[in-house]
């Protein structure tokens, strides 16, 4: 497994892509790039989810940065940093409330961008499974995030968008406790939600991926949250 974290840069300006790629590569990240939201989405589907994406807002004539975020967040909780020339308060608020972890206005400092990337990744978790088209947990379980399905003992099982995001949040910090409060805030950032709502989705997810008599992946930490336990060793997909 590649120990480097992978960043996807999405911008229709090739000069911006070159600057961002150079700055992130110098900081020892693996960097992929796409010139449109559509190309970026295809890259994720074909190669797997990166650890983070740096995304422009307006990329005419196709998919906007916000629409790319909406598409990605149908099947993951991948963090996004918006990098754009749009300096409007309403747009910035919308981005930070609904789509992105941070918002950087062009022209920008490459050093500041790297610092913000590091800060977001420290806060969000390392996601050791990143950049695999099929995320193979062990010889029993694999997850296809873009197609929102789990493969359990060779059988394909559909997941809802909420179940897929929930699983991503847990797997991003595999082996560590993810607090109930954090999970609720990530799943429903703009609406009131309580533990009972989370418990319903957690129960449904467990029924789909766990063995009835021997649950082993999602473990409850009473009063704290949940731990995703992949087993003694994670298996990487080819």
Position 132 scores a pLDDT of 85
Position 191 scores a pLDDT of 84
Longest dimension (CA), the chain: 57
Residue 107 structure tokens: 């022209």
Fold adopted by 135-228: Arc Repressor Mutant, subunit A (1.10.10)
**Number of CB atoms found within 10 A of residue 97's CB:** 10
Position 3 scores a pLDDT of 63
As to burial, measured by CB atoms within 10 angstroms (0-12 exposed, 13-18 middle, 19+ buried), residue 26 is exposed
The answer to whether 6-124 and 135-228 have equal CATH topology is no
Ordered per-residue pLDDT tens for the chain, 238 residues: 446 899 999 999 999 999 999 999 999 999 999 999 999 999 999 999 999 999 999 998 889 999 999 999 999 999 999 999 999 999 999 999 999 999 999 999 999 999 999 999 999 887 877 778 899 999 999 999 999 999 999 999 999 999 999 999 999 999 999 999 999 999 998 888 789 999 999 999 999 999 887 778 999 998 899 999 976 444 444 3
Position 231 scores a pLDDT of 61
Position 1 scores a pLDDT of 40
Q: Where are the domains of the chain?
A: 6-124, 135-228
Residue 193 structure tokens: 């939600």
Q: Taking Cα atoms as reference points, which of 238, 78, 234, 80 lies closest to residue 168?
A: 78
Position 189 scores a pLDDT of 87
pTM: 0.90
**What is the C-alpha to C-alpha distance for residues 151 and 195, in angstroms, rounded to an integer?**
28
Position 237 scores a pLDDT of 40
DSSP at 235: P
CATH of 6-124, one of 2.30.40.10, 3.40.50.300, 3.50.50.60, 3.40.50.2300: 3.40.50.2300
Transcribe 128-140 into DSSP letters.
TT-S-SSEE-SSS
């Amino acid at each position: 497994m590649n120990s480097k974290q992978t960043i996807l840069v999405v911008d229709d300006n090739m000069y911006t892509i070159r600057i961002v790629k150079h700055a992130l590569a110098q900081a020892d990240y693996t960097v992929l790039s796409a010139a449109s939201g559509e190309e970026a989405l295809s890259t994720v589907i074909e190669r797997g989810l990166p650890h983070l994406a740096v995304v422009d807002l307006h990329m005419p004539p196709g998919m906007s940065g916000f629409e790319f975020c909406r598409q990605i967040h149908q099947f993951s909780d991948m963090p996004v940093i918006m990098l754009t020339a749009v300096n409007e308060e309403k747009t910035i608020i919308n981005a930070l409330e609904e789509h992105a972890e941070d918002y950087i206005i062009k022209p920008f400092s490459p050093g500041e961008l790297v610092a913000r990337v590091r800060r977001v990744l420290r806060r969000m978790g390392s996601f050791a499974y990143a950049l695999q088209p099929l995320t193979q947990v062990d010889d029993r379980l694999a997850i296809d995030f873009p197609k929102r399905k789990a493969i359990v003992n060779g059988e394909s099982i559909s997941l809802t968008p909420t179940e897929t995001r929930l699983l991503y949040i847990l797997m991003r910090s595999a082996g560590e406790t993810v607090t109930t409060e954090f999970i609720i805030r990530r799943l429903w950032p703009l609406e009131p939600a309580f533990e009972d709502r989370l418990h319903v989705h957690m129960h449904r997810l467990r029924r789909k991926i766990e063995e009835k008599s021997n649950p082993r992946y999602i473990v409850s930490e009473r009063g704290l949250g949940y731990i995703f336990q992949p087993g003694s060793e994670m298996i990487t997909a080819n």
